[in-house]
Amino acid sequence: MNFARTAILLAGMTGLFLAVGFMLGGEMGMVIAFMLAAGMNVFAYWNSGFMVLSQYGAREVDAATAPGLHGIVKGLAGRAGLPMPRVYIMDNDQPNAFATGRNPENAAVAATTGLIGMLNRDELAGVMAHELAHVRNRDTLTMTVTATLAGAIGMLANFAMFFGGSRNNPLGIMGVILVAILSPIAAMVVQMAISRGNEYTADKTGAEISGNPLALASALQKIAGAGQRIDNQVAEAHPETAHLFIINPLHAHRRDSLFSSHPATANRIAALEQMAQEQRRTPMGPSPLPSTRRGPWA
């Protein structure tokens, strides 16, 4: 299903590029836009995950350099029936995490130092299980490609201002204004449509993997609270990547409300608490990981 969604996304973004190219440069502009879009689609499919990790300065860790975090992810991946993903740590005080990769065989999970230091073991396991749920549900391809293409759309809108005087632009300055306004909005709408429902599903699947819905609920509450006090400067500079994170990392600028791609945290917590009640009535899933001792787990 997600492959079909990704194909639709790529086709939609390509069509948007063609429309923008025509507005900026007529038929020749459309040809150039098509070539650019085709190249970007191929590049995004194969390299979008690496690009996002690079944007956030994530460093890969292993059992020797981060035995705690790596061990948690390895145990959860085994429970989920997934190949062991690559594990990354981002030097960022804001507690948060995301997953990326075009398929489970090429997946990666990344956690911030703020997340590792704030959460206890059960809570950290809940968060990483949520991210592995995105991998198992094959959300990561669509989410990561969207982030890459949405950023490109924003750049294209900025470039539009430099081509306003082109004689080939059929709509003149009005075309440039429309491109600058509508392109990022179109990309934003695609982001929100893709990620909101995914978060509820990943919460549920992640809680099943970890066996502890209340630990994930507690983690979400802590992350959301700290996220309002601690800036994530990289996310503020690249708001098109905000939908990748388990909790929206944006809050420092007024424009960030436009990229609010996550459901209300209170609603997610309520759903997890309901899930825990149902599990108490009908025990299911693996037992939660032991120990409530706090990090650091790296």
* Residues identified as active-site: 131
DSSP state letter for 294: B
Task: Please give the structure tokens belonging to residue 235.
Answer: 């996310």
Length of the chain (residues): 298
Interacting residues of 110 by C-beta distance below 8 A, sequence separation 6+: 53, 56, 58, 87, 88, 89, 90, 97, 98, 99, 100
Asked if 97 and 110 touch (Cβ cutoff 8 Å), the reply is yes
Coil vs helix vs strand at 85: coil
Query: At CB < 8 A and 24+ separation, what contacts does 6-9 make?
Result: 6/141, 6/142, 6/145, 9/142, 9/145, 9/146, 9/149, 9/190, 9/194
Task: Name the token pair of 154.
Answer: 């924003």
Distance between CA 52 and CA 240 in Å, rounded?
10
